[in-house]
Chain A
Amino acid sequence: MEQIPFWASKSFWKKMAIWVTAGSFLLLIILTFDTMSKVTAGTKRVPDYSVINKQIDYRYDESKHHSMPVIGGDAPLFGKILSEQEAEQLVTLGKKTIQAKNCMNCHTLLGNGAYFAPDLTKAWLDPAWGPESVRPMLMKMFLMDPEGNARTYGSGRKMPNLGITEQEAEGIIAFLKWMSSINTNGFPYNFKTAGGQ
């Protein structure tokens, strides 16, 4: 009976459980610190909020086998160059509105959410919204009256009216433009932008 080898004993596995858990968690914490330093706004992967003053594109990078965001010259949103602080305020309003209107339970952001409506990761760059000269206006009209300006593509699915104000709509658009500048390791793949064709 009592000749269980050490590697099958309760005390051995108790220690293993503790060490494996503690080790994995410690590694996760170290990686979390590193990741945080690399995804803070204003880094190479996640640009400053004032990137909404710039031209943004998403182009295929041969060496990486996927597309990368490309930041170009000035292209102010709503015709006005914003300071970093003003830009952050506007993007913040957009993010809070996106949460308040529960967008994520129809759309996906960075691919996470629900699958009833298109992904918003690169929505700012989507050819569906025309050239940059009219894009913000079209998006604003749509957000403020999605039923009247419905784009169903024959699917019959319409975005409901969520009572989005003009200010909130501008915030959302600023947020979408900023989000499109994030380096997402090539997600979504093979995306063809309005400008990049």
Chain B
Amino acid sequence: MTRPLDSSNLNDGQKLAVKYFVVAVILFFAQLVFGMLAGIQFVHPDFLYGVLDFNVNRMVHINAMIVWMLYGFIGSVYWFLEEESGREIAGLKLGNLGFWVLTAAVTVVVAVYLLVQVGPGNDFTRWFINEGREYIEAPRWADIGIVVVMLIFFYNVAVTFSRGKWSGIAGVLTLDLVALAGLYLAGMFYVTNISIDQYWWWWVIHLWVEATWEVLVGCIMAWTLMHLLGVRRKIVETWLYIEVALMFGSGILGLGHHYFWIGSPEYWLAIGGFFSALEPIPLVAMVVHSIYDSGVHKLRNRNHPALAWVIAHAFGNFLGAGVWGFMHTLPQINLYTHGTQWTASHGHLAFFGAYATINIAFFYLAVQRWRGDVWMGANLVGGWRWKWALGLLSLGVIGMTMALLIAGYEQSFIERAMGGSTWSAYFAGQNHPWFVESMVWRMIFGWVTIAGFGLLVWDLLVIGKHEVRPAETLLEEPALVHG
């Protein structure tokens, strides 16, 4: 007897969410493939030279990452929208239209990236081929499309909640989406002055990734914890507010650590240094809170793979953002590490730990419901698959991070500190055996990551198929007896 993936188990918002999740997984794969191509070019520079050059592969690599994560977030919100508001989704047709418009736009943008790649140095190129600014390369027409789709999404969230229950999660989410869409506008104009260009560019990049995304994930996590562990709403919402205070309190002015070397005044050295030194505090808070929670719940939960990925999130976020971030954030050391493989090392672990893990956890929650609230607890049939997928993906990313860390250390030492950052110093750093070998190791761990991804997709497709047991029901959590 098998349990099929049955869409009659889903509400309309969830059916829409599933579409987003499917595209998210496809783009996740694109991220890995183009990351591999770019990684191979470090080892074999002639590979695909003149066909798909490094800049193209690297652009698709990072764009696919940003977009798959956004698809995952949007899907997660649509997933819980009807349950959380107690109402039917306000504009289902509009939501579907938004999905297809966004997906068509992403397809066209990527096709142009791959087939046209570059254009002449004029405004047409920036509007229709490539904007040429890291992470927000999407041409201007696509920017406008993205804003429109985000507004549709915002409409659905705000109106559905306002017609139904307006919870604490709803309030934070709605305001966060306003900020998310608004900040994107900061990246949508041309300016010749590169200091001003970079100043606003960081508004989009940093205030998305280190502020509004964090809070968006906070909302998704808040809902998840109620459903995964049975945490009471009042507690979850109080902590969502605490998190917003801590994240925005350290994150908004933490923006300063990107303003050290782009021409901005010297006071940013102090602001950036101080606020980024405080950025690990929310992470320490998270550790304390998880231990408290483990005492309350004894980690009783209804979806083991999802909880395991949430735990991976806690570790990954702590190491990637906390430790790796702090090691090179003070201006006294960042002067050497800025713009080296250090950043790549930090970026790989931090994005994986903070965002990839949460999206994957949510995919597992979705699949569980899709199969009709199937058992995903102990002794799950075929349970080895999710464990190995988790293990291989984590090992792959940590391996890449370590390889890039060694390369980054070597680069900042040989090229920056000793060589003085000239072109010959740059290449002396790149040709150093530590660097060359690190790039080989990075590639090996890239393959491990891809293997983990393959297993993850297989698992998401079949997990729970041969389970007959229904999911565990959760009791509302008790308070800690002492304390």
With both chains docked as a complex, state the minimum distance between the C-beta of A50 and any C-beta of chain B, in angstroms.
13
A38–B31 alpha-carbon span in the complex (Å): 39
Judged by a CB distance under 8 angstroms, whether B80 is at the interface is: no
Q: Closest Cβ of chain A: how far from B248's Cβ, in Å?
A: 4
Distance (Å) between the CB of B267 and the closest chain A CB?
A: 8
The answer to whether the Cβ of B335 comes within 8 Å of any Cβ in the partner chain is yes
User: Who on chain A is nearest to B239 by CB?
Assistant: A13
Q: Find out whether the CB atom of A119 lies under 8 angstroms from the CB atom of B421.
A: yes
Task: Say if the beta carbon of B11 comes within 8 Å of chain A.
Answer: no
A111 within 8 A of B: yes
Q: Is A126 an interface residue (CB 8 A)?
A: yes
| Interface membership of B292, Cβ < 8 A | no
A16-B245, A17-B248, A99-B133 given; A110·B55 CB < 8 A: no
Q: Which residues of B contact A9 (CB under 8 A)?
A: 238
| A92 near B192: Cβ-Cβ < 8 Å | yes
Task: Report if A83 contacts B (CB, 8 A).
Answer: no
Across the interface, do B126 and A20 meet the contact criterion of CB distance under 8 Å?
no
The answer to whether A102 and B118 have CB atoms under 8 Å apart is yes
Q: Is B195 in contact with chain A by the CB < 8 A criterion? A: yes
Per-residue B-contact encoding for A145-165, CB less than 8 Å = 1, 0 else: 001000111111110111101
Is residue B426 within 8 Å, beta carbon to beta carbon, of the partner chain? yes
Could you say which of B56, B168, B252 contacts A102, with CB atoms under 8 Å apart?
B56
Taking the complex as formed, is A62 at the interface, i.e. its CB lies under 8 A from any CB of chain B? no
Decide: A119 and B339 in contact? CB cutoff 8 A.
Answer: yes
Q: How large is the interface on B (under 10, 10 to 19, 20 to 34, 35 or more residues)?
A: 35 or more
Find out whether the CB atom of B122 lies under 8 angstroms from the CB atom of A112. no
Bound: A21/B197 CA distance, A: 25
The answer to whether the Cβ of A78 comes within 8 Å of any Cβ in the partner chain is no
Q: Closest residue to A129 on the B side, CB-wise?
A: B423
Q: Determine whether the beta carbon of A40 is less than 8 Å from that of B196.
A: yes
Taking the closest CB of chain A, its distance from the CB of B18, in whole angstroms, is 32
Q: Which residues of chain A are near B45, meaning CB under 8 Å?
A: 152, 155-158
Say whether B162 faces chain A, with CB atoms less than 8 Å apart.
Answer: no
Residues of A within 8 A of B59 (CB): 102, 105
Given contacts A100-B126, A106-B54, contact A95 B265 (CB under 8 A): no
Residues of B within 8 A of A171 (CB): 121
Contact with A along B207-243 (1 / 0, CB 8 A): 0000000000000000000000000001001100110
In the complex, chain A residues whose CB is within 8 Å of the CB of B340: 115
Q: Is the CB of B194 within 8 A of A110?
A: yes
How does the 8 Å CB contact mask read for B455-478 relative to A, with 1 for contact and 0 for none? Answer: 000000000000000000000000
Q: Is the CB of B269 within 8 A of A182?
A: no
Contact string against A for B residues 31-43, beta-carbon threshold 8 Å, 1 for contact and 0 otherwise: 0000000100110
**In the complex, what distance in Å separates the CA atom of A1 from the CA atom of B137?**
54
Residues on B with C-beta less than 8 A from A100 are 118-122, 125-126, 129-130, 132
Give min CB distance, A35 to chain B, whole Å: 5
Contact B265 A38 (CB under 8 A): yes
Q: Are B55 and A105 in contact (CB under 8 A)?
A: yes
Q: Given A13-B242, A100-B118, A102-B130, does the pair A95, B431 have CB atoms closer than 8 Å?
A: no
Task: State whether the Cβ of A183 lies closer than 8 Å to any Cβ in chain B.
Answer: yes
Q: Does A122 contact B (CB under 8 A)?
A: yes
Among all A-B residue pairs, the 5 with the closest Cβ atoms: A97-B121, A99-B132, A153-B427, A111-B339, A188-B421
Contacts A/B (CB < 8 Å), 21 sampled: A10-B237, A10-B238, A14-B168, A17-B245, A36-B196, A39-B199, A39-B265, A95-B194, A100-B132, A105-B59, A111-B262, A116-B41, A127-B424, A128-B422, A152-B427, A153-B430, A156-B45, A157-B430, A179-B194, A188-B416, A188-B420
Q: Which residues of B contact A (CB under 8 A)?
A: 38, 41-42, 45-46, 49-50, 53-56, 58-59, 117-123, 125-126, 129-134, 137, 168, 172, 190, 192-199, 201, 234, 237-238, 241-242, 244-245, 248-249, 252-253, 255, 259-269, 271, 331, 335-336, 338-341, 343-344, 411, 416-417, 420-424, 426-428, 430-431
- List 6 additional A-B contacts (Cβ < 8 Å) besides A17-B244, A127-B424: A17-B245, A39-B264, A100-B118, A102-B56, A110-B194, A153-B430
A contacts, CB < 8 Å to B: 8-10, 13-14, 16-17, 20-21, 24-25, 27-28, 31-32, 34-36, 38-41, 45-46, 49, 66, 88, 91-106, 108-116, 118-119, 121-123, 126-128, 147, 151-158, 160-163, 165, 168, 171, 179, 182-192
